[in-house]
Amino acid sequence: MADAANGGPLEITDANFADEIEGADGLAMVDFWAAWCGPCRLVGPIVEELAQKYSGRVTIGKLDVDANPQTAFRFNVRSIPSILFFRDGEVVDTLVGAHPRDSLEKKILEHA
């Protein structure tokens, strides 16, 4: 996974979720995923592309649900991939399943 310093998505964990996502100004998008999930592997590169494209404008992160079950449970994430959109720390939208790049970008633009 690319890292935020290079314009890639942030690695979101149970420990840093409050600071990185709930504390973010404006729009944040979090990809809830797992390494064993085939559809997640399809969405992953799209999330990385979008993180680079919207770097500095939208906070984009990836949260491994196996390593960070508390946050997944807190937001009732039962199917993956799930993409949650937050505005100023509050959930404003959710996409469940492997969506194409255009769908994700449409949601970013809708909530930006």
Cβ 43 vs Cβ 98: under 8 Å = yes
The first and second tokens of residue 58, run together, are: 């939208």
Catalytic-residue membership of 40: yes
Catalytic-residue membership of 13: no
Q: Choose the catalytic residue: 24, 37, 43, 51.
A: 37
Distance from C-alpha of 48 to C-alpha of 35, rounded to nearest angstrom: 15
Q: Choose the catalytic residue: 30, 40, 95, 104.
A: 40
CA distances from 51 to 33, 62, 70 (A): 16, 10, 24
Catalogue the active-site residues: 37, 40
